[in-house]
Chain A
Amino acid sequence: MRILLVNGSPRRAAANSRIVLDSLKSRLGEGHEYRMVEAMSRDAEAGDLECDFIVLAFPLYIDCLHSRLLSWLLSYEALLARARASGGARRRIGLIAVANNGFHEGVQNETALRIVANFCARAGIEWRGGLGVGTGEMLKELKGAPSRMLIKRPVSLALDAIASRVGEEPSPSGNLYVQHAFPWLLFKLVAHAGWRRQARANGLGPRELRARPFASR
């Protein structure tokens, strides 16, 4: 299959979404033709239509998709409609999406995945469902850890499940939601310590981090 991997993160190569795409690619294995698109860099191009399947990964951005990814989807829909009208594009394209967020709950990606499903309905693309991953920042921390590692296992299994939907055969289109097996409170405490550490590296203390430059006077 010709598979288009679409990275919808402004962090591009350093993104957790890129880790998701790489891990899905390794699950899908060789024997496919892959092409990576950075949706932040440009609108969709004619070459992006030359695929059998789209694998989209993106971070949750203010409860949905980053503005540039939204523009990319709009441009893809318009290009595809034009190409189909002139008989020049494949009739059948499938799509799965993996959204990740920095909160704990994977289910917070639900609305974002509904937006992607609505895009598929508009564009005439087969929606094969999505995966919403919480604790997204842990993807990077656990990148090199074994898939069966207790903390990572729920996410690994969910990635296996969503990867299995890539193919010619019809598959379920329901969404899956998951987060790393890491307690809510501990996740919060570790995240807070991380923010403070990064701020300190920039010469900022905890009080400066809470600055209110535009408070009403």
Chain B
Amino acid sequence: MKVFLLYDEDGPDRRSAGSALAAWAEKGGHEFGSACAEGLGPCLGCFGCWLKTPGRCVVSRDGWEALIKSFVRADLVVLAGEIPYGSFAPTIKAALDRWLPTLLPYFRRFRGEMHHVPRYEKRPRILSVALGEALAAEEETHLELMRSFCDNAASPRQKRFFRFRGDGAALEAWLEEEAAS
């Protein structure tokens, strides 16, 4: 299995979470890679990735192409960052906004709602690891957001909110729990 970690910015807790995830991947014989979302520009909202250069962002010189390849080819994508207001960190959100080309513009009914048709057959499981502090309402919102995002990505839904507090064993237990569900 290919495991890909996308984190919001550099910092000791990010490195600690990365090390714990890499250790879990190594133990399971998985291939592991990671990237920082900093430096990616925002989505322009131009729909060029659907209508001009299908599957490719029209702006690709800022590291987007390497990131999207990692995303598309992974079996498990782990997002790690702060969750302001229950959302994603702005750097991670910029990367996710530009994940749009992995979908087709076409619609279908999926899990009872209208969603886009995935561009690729292979779709990774996507999990979010929260870092920093948040209010209970924000944690609840974030899990709801992850469920909506997983529906949009046609991936299995994340089941439980998880905050990384430096405990690698807790991270491993949660990953196993999610993978088994």
Q: Are B137 and A121 in contact (CB under 8 A)?
A: yes
* Cβ of B180 to closest chain A Cβ, rounded Å: 24
Query: B94-106 toward A: CB 8 Å interface, digit per residue (1/0)?
Result: 1011011000111
Is B86 close to A, CB under 8 A? yes
Q: A63-B145, A63-B152, A118-B135 are in contact. Are A208 and B54 (CB under 8 A)?
A: yes
Q: Are A118 and B73 in contact (CB under 8 A)?
A: no
Q: Are A67 and B90 in contact (CB under 8 A)?
A: yes
Which residues between 118 and 138 of chain B lie within 8 Å of chain A, taking CB atoms?
119-122, 135, 137-138
Return chain B residues, CB-CB under 8 Å to A191.
Answer: 105-107
Which residues between 44 and 62 of chain A lie within 8 Å of chain B, taking CB atoms?
59, 61-62
* Cβ of A206 to closest chain B Cβ, rounded Å: 10
Return chain A residues, CB-CB under 8 Å to B152.
Answer: 62-63
Q: Are A115 and B107 in contact (CB under 8 A)?
A: no
CA distance A35 to B87 in the complex (A): 27
- Apart from A118-B137, A213-B55, what 12 extra A-B contacts exist at CB < 8 Å? A11-B45, A66-B93, A67-B93, A111-B148, A114-B141, A114-B144, A115-B141, A195-B50, A199-B54, A204-B52, A209-B105, A210-B119
Q: List 26 A-B contacts (CB under 8 A).
A: A10-B43, A61-B43, A63-B145, A63-B149, A63-B152, A64-B87, A64-B88, A66-B43, A66-B97, A103-B113, A104-B114, A108-B148, A114-B141, A115-B145, A116-B85, A118-B141, A121-B137, A192-B105, A192-B106, A198-B47, A209-B50, A209-B51, A210-B119, A212-B119, A214-B120, A215-B120
Interface of A toward B, CB cutoff 8 Å: 9-11, 15, 40, 59, 61-68, 70-71, 73-74, 103-105, 108, 110-111, 114-116, 118-119, 121-122, 184, 188, 191-192, 195, 198-199, 202, 204, 208-216
